[in-house]
Amino acid sequence: MTEATIIIAVYNHWNWLRVILDALGRQSVRDFEVVVADDGSKPEIGLNIEQLRPQLPFAIKHVWHEDRGWRKNIILNRAVEASCGKVIIFLDGDCVPHHRFVEDHLAAHRSCRAFSGRRAEIPAVVSAMAEAGEISTLPQLKRAFWSHFLATCRTHRPFRYVRLPLVGGKLLAKRRRHAILGCNFSIDRPLLLELNGFDERYLAPGWGEDSDVDLRLENMGVDVLVAGHNALVYHRCHKHFDLNYPENIALLGENRKCRVTRTPHGIIKEQR
């Protein structure tokens, strides 16, 4: 069993996944595997993973199901089933990890069972370059960022891009509820299996996608450790969508009212 499994949720966007895989190949620790949780992408993703596989310094699996609309929670559960890491780290397919991303997640798990890192938005001009395939590696992304740094400072808080895990020898972290960032969080494998993974009734993004896991951790009495400037990812710049789907809100309300911890609609389907 490896120390960690990194599960990357993807739907098309190969140019971003290529940068992410390059960044994972440059991590400061190497005892991890990668599972690509593919929510129905076109064949390009699978073909490109196979071509790149011999060059990658880590084991990689590609878990896919057909495109029948947004079914991210379902494919995440299938990816969990295919994984073998002691700690499972979730990463979205448009978030490029810092080169000490895995190190930070594993370090946090010495004192917690669930951890959420932070994200910083990639400037629009740099994001467009990556989208167009002009950037394919983490060093190229960094160079593009610094070349547009002054313009970035006008619209972004540059301090968010800085990794500062320790101040005075202490982690910049705190425990709090409702803190999971779905594109960047980790959980001990036994704890995730105790929750029975993700609730597969959520068939739209937004409320419930990851906040349902956070709610069930709260119902279980488990706090999430949250660290600023730690386990950083750099997030693709894109417009924000309306994520307040009534169906999701109703399901989340139901799980809150019933104080659900282990969903019967998860990895293992159960009778209630």
Kindly tell me the burial class for residue 120, based on how many C-beta atoms sit within 10 Å of its own C-beta (0-12, 13-18, 19 or more).
buried
Question: At 139, which helix (H) or strand (E)?
Answer: helix 138-147
Query: How many alpha carbons fall within 13 Å on the CB side of residue 117?
Result: 37
Amino acid at 175: R
DSSP state of 53: G
Query: How far is it, in rounded angstroms, from Cα 35 to Cα 186?
Result: 14
Amino acid at 136: S
Tens digit of each residue's pLDDT, the chain (272 residues): 899 999 999 999 999 999 999 999 999 999 999 999 999 999 999 999 999 999 999 999 999 999 999 999 999 999 999 999 999 999 999 999 999 999 999 999 998 999 998 888 888 888 899 999 999 999 999 888 888 766 666 555 555 666 766 544 455 555 555 468 889 999 999 999 999 999 999 999 877 888 999 999 999 999 998 887 789 999 888 776 667 789 999 999 999 999 999 999 999 988 76
Instruction: Identify whether the C-beta of residue 75 lies closer than 8 Å to the C-beta of residue 45.
Output: no
